[in-house]
Amino acid sequence: MSVFAFDRAIVRAPGPSVVRGLRAGAGESPLFEGVLTEHRAYVAALEAAGLRVAQLPALDAFPDSIFVEDPAFVAPEGAVLLNPGAPSRAGEAVELAATLRGQFGRVERLPRGHADGGDILILPDEILIGLSARTDRAGAEAFTALMRDWGRKARIVETPPGVLHFKTGCALLDEETVVAVPALAASGVFDGLNVLATPPGEEGAANMLRVNDSVLLADGFPRTAALLAARNYDPVLLPTAQIARIDAGLSCMSLRWFSGSGSSDRA
Ligand code: CIR
């Protein structure tokens, strides 16, 4: 089973507080209506790619809670409630607990440290977790130990300075290929895989999302789109200008996994 075969996703609707989402710079706030429109297009793209998407209600007390990928990790064998590194996001994991328990037989909790799901990349043969401003060594070590208990190989790597999350800077394109910003492409972390570097000025395209046969790509990156087209991909272009104002991309708005359970849910 390929690591980008998915049949289920969880998303969370944006609430009006999303306009106060965390951001590194001092740029303009997103518009609530604009985020809603981008979120709807994203959910539609996941559904078109064959996923059944469960949409959780907005949590206005948590401005960044639309980015459900960060407080949890999911894989076919189970889920882990993580401990997001940003204090304002610390309460988001518990808000996902009941939903994840309804979907997975095994739901564990990161026992110590901080880790964000945006720092975790599942590759065909191993899982990478990037140290970042949000994921510390204690959290990364606790996560890799949990994965070892699950029979998974996991490795701790570095996220380049100035990159929010490890997956802000890279994505798996196919079984043998990752796309990465130049600093990550040259870092050696992907040795053994083909690495395509994002063209200069298109670093924001690195957080693309391979979902079944589809590749979701933020619009506005024509040279990256051409790079993909040259490899016979026909990327689904999605608007991200609003969520980009709060440092977000495509992977972070969903938790995705393969349940293999056809149309029926657990519990
Ligand atoms: C944050 O800073 O936490 C949010 N404004 C953006 C999170 C994006 N998540 C991700 O890249 N995995």
Q: What is the pLDDT along the chain (267 residues), one digit of tens a residue?
A: 899 999 999 999 999 999 999 999 889 999 999 999 999 999 999 999 999 999 999 999 999 999 999 999 999 999 999 999 999 999 999 999 999 999 999 999 999 999 999 999 999 999 999 999 999 999 999 999 999 999 999 999 999 999 999 999 999 999 999 999 999 999 999 999 999 999 999 999 999 999 999 999 999 999 999 999 999 999 999 999 999 999 999 999 999 999 998 753 443
Instruction: Output b/e per residue, 68-87; b: 16+ Cβ within 10 A.
Output: bbbbbbbbeebbbbbbbbee
The amino acid that residue 207 corresponds to is: N
The amino acid that residue 257 corresponds to is: W
Task: Give 155's strand partners.
Answer: 128
Q: Does the annotation mark 165 as catalytic?
A: yes
pTM reported for the whole predicted model = 0.96
The amino acid that residue 191 corresponds to is: D
Length of the chain, in residues? 267
Mutate to test the pocket of ligand 1, among 69, 246, 254 (most ligand atoms within 8 A of CB): 246
Q: Is 185 helix (H, G, I), strand (E, B) or coil?
A: helix
CA 117 to ligand 1: nearest atom: 12
Ligand 1 centroid to residue 222 C-alpha, Å: 24
Ligand 1 centroid to residue 154 C-alpha, Å: 22
Any residues with Cβ below 6 Å from ligand 1, and which?
21-23, 64, 67, 69-70, 86, 89, 118, 164-165, 167-168, 246-249, 252
CA 164 to ligand 1: nearest atom: 11
Nearest CA to ligand 1 atom 12: 118
Q: Pseudo-torsion of CA 233, 237, 243, 244, nearest 10°?
A: 60
CA 118 to ligand 1: nearest atom: 12
Residue 223's CB is within 10 A of a number of other CB atoms, namely 13
- What H or E segment, with its residue span, contains residue 93? helix 92-103
Mutate to test the pocket of ligand 1, among 247, 251, 256 (most ligand atoms within 8 A of CB): 247
